């Protein structure tokens, strides 16, 4: 019995593709995957996966599937956003107490959540300066796990940090002089961005992305929008726009789209996708607020 098991194990190992012997790093969801893919660019022998499929968006209410557990069981390192985004974390600890974990939110000053479902607002990745700190945390964890890759990971971090700092300056410059600075966003994704660049999120249209707008809530938002002289309303490409469309129709406030950078484009992921999304948000904001 024992021998058969050993034999079949050997057979399995022989049949495994070479890549199965690479170290496997799993990122919880798309923004973390995107940052880690910049840090691991050109680094050989490490395979990076995203736990949640890339079209998931934010992990609000995300439930671990059996496939997710299987993926984690063969991971050498788990990279998370932290700040409460991974609400399933305790089940991961329970199932894999020895899986090393890197929390990208470490040291970041968190804003309170207004949805009431979590303590902190977890959308920390939406400012380049937070992205720098998150990437530093991720790089530190990766280097600790794979010390022989330190030089390559550090060089990638330096390059990525430089790009993020340039992006931050561009956003700061572009959002300096605007006719108005107030807006309504679809869900609670942009408070860090607003705080960094001096914008004011008057309200969110949906407290949780999948919430429907109740009649009472709609009436409250209509009056808020009217009282504030019709600030622009923003939908998000990952979520249905119906609630914002109704609010726009009721008030005449203009509708635009802001992307919280939680999904990749179709096809291969360009390494500068974060910059592309943020630059497109910048131009939309300049149009909407001028």
By beta-carbon proximity to Zn ion, the closer residue of 83 and 189 is 189
Least distance in Å: CB of 129 to Zn ion?
A: 19
Residue 59 is a binding residue for Zn ion (CB under 5 A): no
The answer to whether the Cα torsion of 185, 191, 193, 197 is positive or negative is positive
Residue 204 is a binding residue for Zn ion (CB under 5 A): no
By beta-carbon proximity to Zn ion, the closer residue of 189 and 261 is 189
What does the alpha-carbon distance between residue 29 and residue 265 come to, in Å, rounded to a whole number? 15
Phi, psi of 257 (to 5 degrees): -125, 130
Contacts 24+ apart (CB under 8 A), 84-87: 84/113, 84/118, 84/119, 84/120, 84/122, 85/28, 85/29, 85/58, 85/59, 85/122, 86/28, 86/59, 86/62, 87/59, 87/60, 87/61, 87/62, 87/118
Footprint (CB under 5 A) of Zn ion, residues 205-224: none
Least distance in Å: CB of 183 to Zn ion?
A: 17
Contact string (CB under 5 A) for Zn ion, positions 136-175, x = contact: ----------------------------------------
By beta-carbon proximity to Zn ion, the closer residue of 82 and 141 is 82
Residue 58 is a binding residue for Zn ion (CB under 5 A): yes
Q: How many residues interact with Zn ion (rule CB under 5 A)? A: 2
Q: Rule CB under 5 A: which residues touch Zn ion? A: 58, 189
């Amino acid at each position: 019995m024992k021998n058969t098991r050993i034999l079949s194990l050997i057979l399995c190992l022989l049949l495994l593709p070479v890549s199965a012997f690479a170290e496997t790093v799993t990122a919880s969801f798309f923004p973390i995957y995107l940052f880690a893919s910049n840090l691991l660019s050109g680094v050989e022998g490490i395979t990076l996966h995203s736990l949640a499929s890339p079209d998931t968006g934010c992990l609000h209410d995300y439930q671990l599937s059996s496939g997710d557990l299987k993926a984690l069981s063969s991971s050498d390192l788990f990279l998370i956003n932290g700040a409460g985004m991974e609400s399933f974390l305790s089940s991961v600890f329970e199932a894999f107490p020895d899986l090393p974990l890197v929390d990208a939110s470490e040291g970041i000053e968190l804003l309170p959540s207004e949805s009431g479902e979590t303590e902190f607002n977890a959308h920390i990745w939406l400012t380049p300066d937070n992205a720098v700190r998150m990437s530093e945390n991720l790089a530190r964890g990766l280097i600790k796990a794979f010390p022989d890759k330190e030089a390559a990971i550090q060089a990638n971090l330096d390059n990525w940090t430089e790009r993020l700092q340039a992006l931050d300056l561009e956003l700061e410059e572009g959002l300096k002089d605007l006719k108005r600075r107030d807006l309504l966003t679809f869900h609670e994704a942009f408070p860090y961005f607003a705080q960094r660049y001096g914008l004011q999120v008057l309200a969110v249209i949906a407290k949780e992305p999948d919430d429907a707008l109740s009649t009472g809530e709609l009436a409250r938002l209509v009056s808020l929008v009217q009282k504030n002289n019709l600030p622009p309303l923003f939908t998000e490409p990952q979520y249905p726009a119906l609630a914002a469309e109704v609010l726009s129709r009721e008030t005449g406030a203009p509708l635009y789209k802001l992307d919280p950078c939680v999904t990749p484009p179709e096809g291969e992921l360009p390494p500068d996708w974060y910059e592309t999304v943020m630059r497109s948000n910048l131009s939309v904001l300049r149009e909407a607020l001028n």
